Amino acid sequence: MNNRSFSKHYYLMLLPGMVWLILISIVPMFGIVIAFQDFNPGAGFFRSAWIGLENFDYMFALSDIRSIFFNTVFIAVMKMAAHLVVPLVFALMLNELRLALIKRWIQTIVYLPHFLSWVILAGILLDIFSFSGPVNGLLKALGFEPVLFFANSTLFPFMVVASDVWKEFGFNTIIYLAALTGISPVLYEAAAIDGASRFRRLWHVTLPGITTTIVLLAVLSLGNVLNAGFDQIFNLYNPLVYSTGDIIDTWVYREGLLNLQYGLATAVGLLKSVVSFILIIISYALASRFANYRIF
């Protein structure tokens, strides 16, 4: 093969994508110098004053910071656990259903919320759970006091996790269902001949058959420890729940782009990026070592 002459064309094919990648993704990586500057947009990266680690010192002294890191990890870890377990249970239930047509319909419907934006879903949820909305109407009819679900700082993190599970559980079953179809029917037949009941077959054939998948998904979700879901929280929260609902990403947005604390916001964002990057590398290393996972 005449590889030499092909290479030239290969570079040409890579060019537009590389330009796009460099301008939008790589250039901002150099912009993290803002974290070490008293940044002034008029002066730009090159002429703003260097202040070393002052932004970081200030950051660690802020009382906000501890609570936004705590809120982020708290919500994110609850989501990780819920996103692992709920879709698994749902997939196992769906797998036991013998009516193929209904099964397909159920799948079609539960995947749908994944494709709707948080703007739209937040608009709907805030309405349904509002003070005069249907959920509170039901509570009142049953003789309970109405609850401000999304304006109550104790409830807010749980509402966030529950609504995220509602949106994503269907979509997250896809990988489990794919793994379930990979289990050989011969194993079920053999177990049945040996007298295993449905539950024993579930326990001794189905679950061991998808253990690798469960472990892999658990490991890969590690990288999300600092991702509590900006789009969702940004559209659902309000000042009443900042104490428990404000996360790193929403704080960086408000502090950086609304209050114009560029240096401080960049420093917090940088800390998040670095920690997330390390976590993802660890999770990929674990996944490739124990489950033979490759991204490419």
Q: Residues 209 to 268: which contact other proteins by CB under 8 A?
A: 212-213, 216, 230-231, 234-235, 237-240, 249, 252-254, 256-258, 262, 265-266
Query: What track of x and - describes contact with other proteins for positions 15 through 34 (by CB under 8 A)?
Result: -xxx-xx-xxxxxxxxxx-x
What beta strand segments (E) does 15-58 contain?
Answer: 37-38, 49-50
203 lines the binding site for other proteins (CB under 8 A): no
Provide the 3-class DSSP secondary structure of residue 195: coil
**Residue 26 DSSP class:** I
* CA gap 64, 264 in Å, rounded: 12
195 binds other proteins (CB under 8 A): no
List, in sequence order, every residue forming a beta bridge with 38; answer none if it has no partner.
Answer: 49
Is 191:160 a contact under the CB 8 Å cutoff? no
Cβ proximity to other proteins: between 78 and 265 the closer is 265
Binding test (CB under 8 A) with other proteins, winner from 43, 49, 85, 116: 116
Shorter beta-carbon distance to other proteins: residue 61 or 295: 295
Out of 56, 58, 74, 293, name the contact with other proteins by CB under 8 A.
293
Q: Which stretch binds other proteins (CB under 8 A): 52-60, 64-72, 77-85, 123-131?
A: 123-131
Task: Please answer whether residues 205 and 188 qualify as being in contact, where contact means their C-beta atoms are separated by less than 8 angstroms.
Answer: yes
Distance CA 215, CA 282 (A): 14
DSSP character for 197?
A: -
Q: Which residues of 32-69 are buried (b: 16+ CB within 10 A; e: fewer)?
A: ebbbbbebeeeeeeeebeeeeeebbeebeeeeebebbb
Q: Which two tokens stand for residue 149?
A: 């679900």
> Residues 61-100 vs other proteins: string with x where CB under 8 A?
-----------------------------x--xx-xxxx-
CA gap 244, 70 in Å, rounded: 9
Least distance in angstroms from the C-beta of 66 to other proteins: 20
Among residues 64, 81, 144, 182, the one that binds other proteins under rule CB under 8 A: 182
Residue from the set 46, 50, 52, 115 that interacts with other proteins by CB under 8 A: 115
3 binds other proteins (CB under 8 A): yes
